[in-house]
Amino acid sequence: MFGWSRKKSCSEEAKRLLQLSQTIPVTCTTTILDTFPAIANLFRRPEFSVEQHWDFFVTSVCLGMGLFLYGRDRPNDLRPFATALLAQVANWNCQAVSAIDDFQKFVNRNTESGFDLETSVGSWILWNLKGDTPSEQEIAAAGAIGTLIVNGLHSWHKS
């Protein structure tokens, strides 16, 4: 059927976003650790777990950003997509739903205060990885971390 394309269901798109969001922490880890020694030091803490900390927080951020981008470009479809996404997220990790909500509130506050989106995204991850205010050396990585995530998700829902 030339010229015909089936519109993906919200459930299919939610599943695709979850899968993409789970790959981004894996693909950007080496770049971040090689570029920012202060972040590598966070990974070396005895209580740190890549899966429990890095993968969880970066995946949660990716899901929150994906939801934002979807809603920005398809506002009429946001509610059914968000419902489908949050159901899949809850099946993956029930704490992620709260993490996404916290992330979105944090980014909204920071961007309203004049911080750019990428720095806000990276700052939320660092704050949660550390469990405290990031140091100046750690916060220097925030923009790069946020840029990797924002660029990785830029047009996820347009294909």
User: pLDDT tens digit string along 123-159?
Assistant: 999 999 999 999 999 999 999 999 999 999 988 988 6
Query: Model confidence over 16-41: pLDDT tens digits?
Result: 999 999 999 999 999 999 999 999 99
- Give the number of domains in the chain: 1
| 1 belongs to a structural domain | no
3-class DSSP assignment, residue 113: coil
Q: Can you tell me the mean pLDDT for 103-117?
A: 96
Crossing angle (nearest 10°) for helices 56-73 and 10-35: 130
pTM score: 0.91
Let me know if residue 2 belongs to a domain: no
Structural domain harbouring 100? 10-158
Give the per-residue pLDDT at 154.
87
The DSSP result for 60-110, as a single string, is: HHHHHHHHHHHHHH-GGGHHHHHHHHHHHHHHH-HHHHHHHHHHHHHHHHH
Q: Is residue 37 part of a domain?
A: yes
CB under 8 Å to 125, separation ≥6 — which residues?
57, 58, 61, 142, 145, 146
Residue 3 lies in a domain: no
Domain for residue 28, yes or no? yes
